[in-house]
Amino acid sequence: MAFLARLSGALVVLTVFQCLCGAVSAEGVVGYERRQMRERSVGAGSKRATNTLATRDANNTALQFGSGVTRAANVTGGPEVQEVDFVDGLEFCLQSNQAMTFNVEIDNGINPGTLPDNTTALNSFSWVVTSSAPLTQVNAQMFVPFNRTKLVAMHPNGSSPSTMLMVYKRPLNATSGGFLPVNANQQIVRELPEDRIMVPLTQMDGRYTVLVTQARPVGGTGALKLSPIQILASRKAGRSLA
């Protein structure tokens, strides 16, 4: 009886082994490994989903431009990083210790006299950001979209967003002075498929626009130093600094 039990167990093991080998043979070793990797990835998906880098409020998604409460973004004061995005792809990833609201309006027309030498406005408008706490320090990244087709039309003999585009800022209600670059050494141009410029901010209020500058040298003399929120902002939604 003991011999028959051992024989029966061996036959079961052999049958399972044959079935497994048959399955691997049918789909190929590479296909089997890829299926195993997909299954492990699906199993880990729930863990990744709970490891969010920023809080997204449905009321702060696809906001319309304009003034007033119904078009205002609401920022909860505290340690959390929040996301706010507008209909054209303009987006903010920010943390503020103080609760605040802000609106973004489109101001058509840019006075050429307010632009620095050797620059041209990519757009005929600027984004005007007005907050309820203009003196509040924030830790933020602004993602500014740009129109690649317009840049190519302006420079048909060759254009490079990474070396020619930069976001400039002018104070609200300024009667003198022009646009100045915003943290020029820390801006990151994200090309296709995103086509946006990542700009670090410490204060929200201002008039922002994208300028076409003279082509800058590719690369630099040192490594770019990124703040923790820059790293968070670049990693969210699958972005990478590489």
Contact partners, residue 195, CB within 8 Å, separation at least 6: 145, 146, 147, 148, 161
Q: What CA–CA distances, in Å, run from 203 to 56, 129, 160?
A: 21, 10, 29
Q: Indicate if the pLDDT at residue 173 is higher than 70.
A: yes
Cα angle: 37, vertex 41, 47; to 5 degrees: 155
Single-letter code of the amino acid located at 121: A
Coil, helix or strand at residue 126:
strand
Q: What is the pLDDT of residues 123-170, one digit of tens each?
A: 999 999 999 999 999 999 999 999 999 999 999 988 899 999 999 999
32-41, 58-67, 215-224: least confidently modelled range: 32-41
Tokens 């079935």 belong to 19
- CA–CA dist 130, 206 (Å, integer): 7
The model scores a pTM over 0.85: no
Q: Which CATH architecture has domain 55-238?
A: Sandwich (2.60)
pLDDT at 109: 96
Task: Report the sign of the C-alpha dihedral through residues 123, 127, 128, 134, in that order.
Answer: negative
Per the listing, tokens 């609760």 go with: 99
Query: How big is the chain, counted in residues?
Result: 242
Q: Which helix (H) or strand (E) holds 33?
A: helix 29-50
pLDDT bracket for residue 229 (50, 70, 90):
low
Tell me the C-alpha distance between 188 and 196, whole Å: 9
DSSP single-letter state for residue 175: S
* Closest listed residue to residue 86, CA positions, set 114, 111, 62, 118: 62
Taking the alpha carbons of 90, 186, 80, 171 in that order, is the dihedral positive or negative? Answer: negative
What confidence tens digit (pLDDT) does each residue in 24-61 have?
A: 344 343 333 323 323 322 333 332 233 246 787 889 99
Q: State the burial class of residue 102 (Cβ atoms within 10 Å of its Cβ: 0-12, 13-18, 19+).
A: buried
Give dist(CA 5, CA 13) in Å, integer.
13
Parse the chain into domains and list their residue ranges. 2-50, 55-238
Single out the residue of 187, 201, 75, 85 nearest to residue 131, CA to CA.
Answer: 75
Average pLDDT, the chain: 78
Please give the pLDDT value at position 155: 92
**Which of residues 234 and 223 earns the better pLDDT score?**
234
Q: 174, 163, 42, 56: which is closest to 114 by C-alpha? A: 174
Between CA 131 and CA 167, with CA 147 as vertex, the angle to 5 degrees is 45
